[in-house]
Amino acid sequence: MTPISRGLVSAAIVIAVAISAAAQPAPASTPESIVRALVTAIYKGDVAAYNAVTLPDPRRSVLTANARVNEAKLRELAEYPQGLQIKVSRGYFFQGKPAKADASGAYAVGTTVLFMAAHSGGPMMVPLVRKPEGWRVDVRWWIAMTDLMRGAEPKSGTPELAIKSLILSMFANDRSSAAKWVAKPADLDIIFEGAPRYREPSGVLEASAMEMPLVRIGPGEFYPLPSGRVIEGTTAADVQVLVGMFGPTEIPFVVRRAGAAWTVAPERYFALLLR
């Protein structure tokens, strides 16, 4: 597993902590304060505090199961708070476009941002969403990565299989294989734009593709495609929009049903895959 992918799920693993009985109010203010509160909750084993700064999800509890307090990390964080590095990985976006704060420094509800947090270990990608009650961490990619760590593989006839099969074909410079996952041959010219001349031999890119968590987004969620077009999530049966976390990079994919299989809409994905 790559360092970035390990970091992506460190919130799911390090939070193996005992549940706190007392409910904690969610900290307000900045995304940075929410990330710090998240890390503190992870080290303390305070699931109530963890839930207070994360978005509700039916499966959120998988991230806080079988846990233990990390006294060493708590002590380290208390003695040297600056050791927790919190940096913007992808800037503030509202409805798929760059966003700015208002005169008071507040962002519109629905604004998203992606942070990278690191504390004496590998980085952890932390997606945040501005809700009416304040900033909250979106844990969906951590849950998806937890499933991957448990050995879940893309099932036949799913959008996830189409996306990952296409990416593996791209890294192998295999147009014949890639053609199975696009609607028409002309799409391949777009798909392979910016492809490296030779296959990267280490296998790191392929491993990162297989470890990439994919999350389906719904109405009211927006992401810019490599072409610059902004796509909104959907609940349609024959079209899905999924966003993968490829290391520190978010990659949106539009997939459409083609009979019993799915095809991936052509975009210049190498612009993001090789970033």
Residue in the structure block whose two tokens are 């049903």: 257
Sign of CA dihedral 257, 259, 262, 265: negative
Q: What is the pLDDT of residue 2?
A: 55
Structure confidence by residue, pLDDT tens digits, 27-72: 448 999 999 999 999 999 999 999 999 999 999 999 998 777 999 9
Separate counts of helices (H) and strands (E) for the chain: 11, 11
Q: Which of 45, 41, 48 is nearest to 84 (CA)?
A: 41
Residues 69-120 have pLDDT tens digits of 999 999 999 999 999 999 999 999 999 999 999 999 999 999 999 999 999 8
Q: Which tokens go with 250?
A: 């978010």
Residue 13, sorted as left (phi over 0), alpha (psi -120 to 50) or beta, turns out to be alpha
Return the pLDDT at 66.
72
pTM of the model: 0.89
Q: What is the pLDDT of residue 16?
A: 39
Query: Residue 223 above 60 pLDDT?
Result: yes
Write the CB contacts of 174 (distance below 8 Å, at least 6 apart in sequence): none
Domains of the chain: 3-145 (no CATH), 153-273 (3.10.450)
